[in-house]
C-alpha cells in the first residue's frame, strides 16, 4: 500500500484518494462502537495513510466532532479536516438553519469540540430555502477571511446552485451520495465540478453498507437511520439484495470484494473524485483501502454500469423528510417516496 494512498486534489488540499467518513462512529447506523474502539479505528486510519477525515456538527449532535478532537488533534498536521454546518441540532432535533448567525454559532461550537482554531474544509451541509444563498455563503467567506476555515464546500446541492455559489466565491468541494446504485451526480453535478475545477467527495460509496454485504434480508435495526429509507424496507429490500448478489458475483469473478469493486468503480469515474466510506471495523477499513492496489479492467466497470442503470435500485434513497432537504438532481420518473 503506497504511503501516499495515491493522493488526489480537493481544492487546495492534496488528500488520500480514499478518505474516511466518520459519521457512523457516533451517528446514524447501528450498532455503534464504544469510544475506545472508535478511537482505535481513527488512529489506524491515520497510521494507514488516510489523510482526509470528514465529520459534521450534525453527527451525534457534536459527539463525532468531540471524538475526532480528543483522538486525532495531537497529529493535526498529518491530515485534512472537513466538517459541516447549516444542518445541525436545533432544539434537540435535526434541523436546517442557514442564517449567518447560526453558521457563526455552529462553527464556534465545532472549533471548540474539535479542539482546533481552524477547519480546513467547511461545507454547507444543505441549502436552507428560507435564507438567500448569498447570506449563507457570505458568512462562510467571512469565516475564511478570519482564518477559521480554509475552504468552502457544498453538500447535496444541484449543479445550478453549485455554479451560482462558485460565481460568488470559489467552491473547493461538493459532497453528494454516489455509488453504483446512486448515480444522481452523473446527471449534472459531476460535469459541473470537473468544469469548474471543484473536487467531488462521494459519501455512502458502498450504498450505505448494502453494496458491502452488510445488510441482510432482515433489514436494519430500529433506530438505525436506514430504517426510514425505503430502499432498506420491504418490498424494495429484496429487489436490492438481488442486485447486490449479482454485483458480488462480478467482484468475485475479478478476485476482489464487492466493497472494493464499488470503490474502484468510483475512482475510475474521474480524477477529481474522492470516496469517503465509513466503517466501525478496522478489517473493513483495510479492505476498503486495498481497493487502491487493484488493477481492474475497464470492461468490469462497464459491467457495473450495465447492472446499475438509472432506476435500477428499488425505492427512494431518502425518507420524504430528508429528500425535502436535498437539492441534487433526480432522474426522470425517479421514485422519491
Active site residues: 59
Q: Which residues fall within 8 angstroms of residue 119, CB to CB, at 6 or more apart?
A: 81, 82, 83, 107, 110, 111, 148, 149, 150
Distance, CA of 122 to CA of 16 (rounded, Å) = 18
Q: Of the candidates 97, 52, 95, 56, which has an alpha carbon nearest to the alpha carbon of residue 72?
A: 52
Distance, CA of 106 to CA of 58 (rounded, Å) = 10
Q: Decide if 172 contacts 121 (C-beta within 8 A).
A: yes
Q: Decide if 2 contacts 8 (C-beta within 8 A).
A: no
- 3-class state of residue 207 by DSSP: helix
Distance, CA of 313 to CA of 247 (rounded, Å) = 12
Q: Which H/E stretch holds residue 155?
A: strand 149-155
Could you give phi then psi for residue 230, rounded to 5 degrees?
A: -55, -35
Distance, CA of 113 to CA of 111 (rounded, Å) = 6
Residue carrying C-alpha cell 429490500: 237
DSSP string, 218-260: TB--TTSGGGGSGGGSTTHHHHHHHHHHHHHHHHHHHTS-HHH
Distance, CA of 243 to CA of 252 (rounded, Å) = 14
Amino acid at each position: 500500500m503506497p504511503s501516499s494512498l495515491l493522493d488526489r486534489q480537493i481544492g487546495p488540499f492534496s488528500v488520500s484518494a480514499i478518505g474516511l467518513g466518520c459519521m457512523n462512529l457516533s451517528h446514524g447506523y447501528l450498532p455503534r462502537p464504544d469510544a475506545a474502539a472508535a478511537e482505535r479505528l481513527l488512529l489506524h486510519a491515520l497510521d494507514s495513510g488516510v489523510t482526509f477525515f470528514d465529520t459534521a456538527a450534525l453527527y451525534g449532535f457534536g459527539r463525532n466532532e468531540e471524538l475526532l478532537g480528543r483522538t486525532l488533534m495531537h497529529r493535526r498536521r498529518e491530515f485534512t479536516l472537513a466538517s459541516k454546518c447549516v444542518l445541525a441540532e436545533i432544539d434537540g432535533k435535526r434541523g436546517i438553519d442557514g442564517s449567518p448567525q447560526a453558521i457563526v454559532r455552529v462553527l464556534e461550537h465545532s472549533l471548540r469540540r474539535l479542539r482546533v482554531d481552524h477547519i480546513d474544509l467547511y461545507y454547507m451541509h444543505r441549502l436552507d430555502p428560507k435564507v438567500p444563498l448569498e447570506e449563507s455563503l457570505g458568512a462562510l467567506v467571512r469565516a475564511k477571511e478570519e482564518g477559521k476555515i480554509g475552504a468552502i464546500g457544498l453538500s447535496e446541492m444541484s449543479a445550478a446552485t453549485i455554479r451560482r455559489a462558485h460565481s460568488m466565491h470559489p467552491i473547493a468541494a461538493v459532497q453528494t451520495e454516489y455509488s453504483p446504485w446512486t448515480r444522481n451526480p452523473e446527471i449534472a453535478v459531476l460535469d459541473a465540478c470537473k468544469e469548474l475545477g471543484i473536487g467531488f467527495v462521494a459519501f455512502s460509496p458502498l450504498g450505505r453498507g448494502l453494496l458491502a454485504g452488510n445488510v441482510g434480508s432482515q433489514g436494519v435495526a430500529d433506530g438505525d437511520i436506514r430504517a426510514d429509507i425505503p430502499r432498506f424496507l420491504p418490498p424494495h429490500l429484496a429487489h436490492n439484495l438481488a442486485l447486490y448478489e449479482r454485483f458480488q458475483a462480478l467482484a468475485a469473478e475479478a478476485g476482489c470484494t464487492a466493497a472494493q469493486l464499488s470503490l474502484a468503480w468510483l475512482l475510475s469515474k474521474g480524477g477529481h473524485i474522492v470516496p469517503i466510506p465509513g466503517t466501525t471495523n478496522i478489517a473493513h477499513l483495510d479492505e476498503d483501502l486495498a481497493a487502491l492496489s487493484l488493477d481492474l479492467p475497464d470492461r468490469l466497470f462497464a459491467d457495473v454500469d450495465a447492472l446499475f442503470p438509472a432506476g435500477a435500485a428499488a425505492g427512494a434513497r431518502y425518507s420524504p423528510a430528508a429528500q425535502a432537504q436535498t437539492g441534487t438532481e433526480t432522474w426522470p420518473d425517479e421514485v422519491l417516496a
